Amino acid sequence: MKMSEVRQLNDKDLRDRIKDLKITLTQLRINHAISPLDNPMRLRALRRDIARLKTELRQRELSKRNN
């Protein structure tokens, strides 16, 4: 997910997407512990997507607080 896509989402969508990605990441970690994933780099990509979403959400909170 690119930052340009993230910026187009509203706050509720950001929170929902974060929650969904966290659930997906947890499921993939469990599956990876049982048997290796075909693409283990997907774990890294999910972690980074979650970080991008959280960063955008935090920037919006700080900008609202400053205004």
pLDDT in tens, 22-65: 999 999 999 999 999 999 999 999 999 999 999 999 999 999 99
Predicted local distance difference test score (pLDDT) of residue 2: 85
pLDDT > 90? residue 67: no
Token pair, residue 33, equals 């512990």
Domain assignments of the chain as residue spans, ordered by start: 3-66
User: 3-66 in CATH: which number?
Assistant: 1.10.287
pLDDT > 80? residue 1: no
The whole-number average pLDDT for the span 4-11 is 90
Query: Rounded to two decimals, what is the model's pTM?
Result: 0.90
Residue among 28, 23, 54, 22 nearest 43 (CA): 28
